[in-house]
Chain A
Amino acid sequence: MKNQSMWSLRLSTAALVLIPVAVGVNYIGKLIAAFLKLPLWLDSIGTVLAAMLGGPIVGALAGAINNIIYGFTDPISFVYAITSVAIGLAVGILFYKGYISSWGKAIVAGLIIGLVATVVSTPLNIGFWGGQTGNVWGDALFAFILANTDSTWLASLLDELVVDVPDKLLVVLISFGIFKGLPRNVVQLYNNNEKIETLD
C-alpha cells in the first residue's frame, strides 16, 4: 500500500490519543513557564509535537481542541483557536516536507511559525482587544508605537511579533529536541505508512 497523503482525514487511534496528550503538554508548558516566571507563553509545545508526529491534520486538531478546552476556563482563548490551527498546519506541512531536519533548519522553521502565528493573531487582536495582546512587554511597545504613529495595525503587528516570534522559535526548538529524543517505537506509532513487510 502506498504512503498516505499528509492530508488524509483518516485518523488512527494513536493519533486521536495523541491529541489530549498534546493539550496536556501545552498546559504543562504554560504552567512551567509561569512557575519559572519566564516572559514567554510556551503554550504550544504540544501542538507542535503533535504536528511533527502525526502530520498537519493532527496538529491542527490538537491546536483547535486545545483552545476550545482552554475556552472553558478562560473564554478569550477560544477565539485564538484559529491561530493554534494555523500553527499546527504550518508545522505539519513543513515537517512532512522534510524542512525541519536539523537544528539550523529548526531555527528557520521556528521563525516562520512565529510569523504565521503573528499574521493570524493580529486581526484577532484588533477585533477583540483593539490591538493588544495581554503581554506586558508587547503592550508597552503597542502603547509606544500608537503614541508615535497613527497606525493601529502597525502597533498591533509589532506588539504580537515581538512576543510571538521568540516564543514560537523557542517552542519549535524545544519540540524538535524532544522529538529527536523520542524512542523510535513511539514515533513509529504515528507513521501513516501502511507498508506490510513479510519475513519470508
Chain B
Amino acid sequence: MKSISLYVERDSFIHEVDPITKMIYILFALLIPIILPSFTISFLCLGISLLLLVMAKVIRKTVPVFSFVFLVLITVVIIQGLFKPENETVLFQMGPLAMYKEGLLYALTITLRVMNIVSSFMILVLTTKPSDLVEALVRKGMSPRIGYVIVSVFQIIPEMMSSMGTITDAQRARGMETEGNVIVRIKAFVPLLGPVILGSLINTKERAMALEVRGFNSRAPKTYLYEEKTYTHGRLVQSVMLLLVVGAIVWRIFA
C-alpha cells in the first residue's frame, strides 16, 4: 500500500531533530524575510534551508516538488515582467513585448518567498515520520483525538485509492467509457466517485464503533506505546531561533 507521506528514511543529523524544532524553524524561515524584507536576507534563509536539506541527504527528493512550483513561478515571472501595473523601466525588448524591471523584481520577491516556504516545509516533511510528529504534538498537549484524525488520514487515503482502482476496473468492465471527449468524461465521473464515497461513508460507521469500543472518547489520561524520545539540543536551537527573530525585529525598528 503506497503511503502518501513523503518521509524518506535516512540516517542523518536532521532526522534526529525534534519535530517541534523543525516546525518552529518553518515559522522562523517565514518570519525573518517578512520582518527584514531584503533580497540578501531572503537568499540567506533559502540558502540555509537548502543546506539543511543537503545535510539531511534528501535534496534529490525535493526536485519533483520544486519543479512543479517552478512551472507556476515561470508564468508569474513572465506575466509580472510584462504586465505589472507600475512597470516603467524597460530591461529588454522581444519584438512587441517589453520586459520591465519592476515586474521582474516583484516576481523575484515572490519566487524567493515561495521557495523559502517550500524548502522549509520540505525539511519538516522529508525528515519526519507523520506518526512521530503527531506524537510530539500530543505530548505537548494537543488532543489525542485530533492526533488520531491526522494519522488516520495517512492510512485512509491509500485505502480509498486502491478501492477506487477496483471500482474503476469494475465499471470499465461493465462498459463505462473513460476516454473520449469532455462529455463522455464527465459522464464517467459520477459512476466512479459515487460508489467510492458511499462505501467510505458507510465504513465510517464501523470505524466509529471500533474506536468507541477501544475507549476513544474516554477522558482518562492516555499512555504512550513508545518511550519518549529525547532530542539533543532541542531547547537550545529553539532559543537561538527565538533570539534571532527578536534581534530581527529590533534591527527593523532601529535601523
Contact = CB atoms under 8 A, between A and B. Distances in A.
Contact of A181 (B198, B216, B217): B198
Interface residues on A, range: 35 or more
Contacts of B186: 36, 38
Given A78-B121, A132-B76, A20 B194 contact: no
Contact of B161 (A21, A31, A38): A31
B164 interface: yes
B31 interface: no
A4 B38 CA distance: 52
A29 B185 CA distance: 14
A147 B78 CA distance: 12
A25 B153 CA distance: 11
Contacts of A12: 208
B85 A130 contact: no
Contacts, number: 163
A36 B68 contact: no
A196 interface: no
Contact of A189 (B65, B79, B153, B205): B205
Interface of A: 11-14, 16-21, 23-25, 27-29, 31-33, 35-38, 45, 49, 65, 68-69, 71-76, 78, 128-130, 132, 134, 139, 142-143, 146-147, 150-152, 174, 177-178, 181-183, 185-186, 189
Q: Which 7 A-B pairs have CB atoms at the shortest separation, nearest pair first?
A: A75-B121, A146-B83, A36-B185, A150-B85, A24-B160, A14-B208, A20-B153
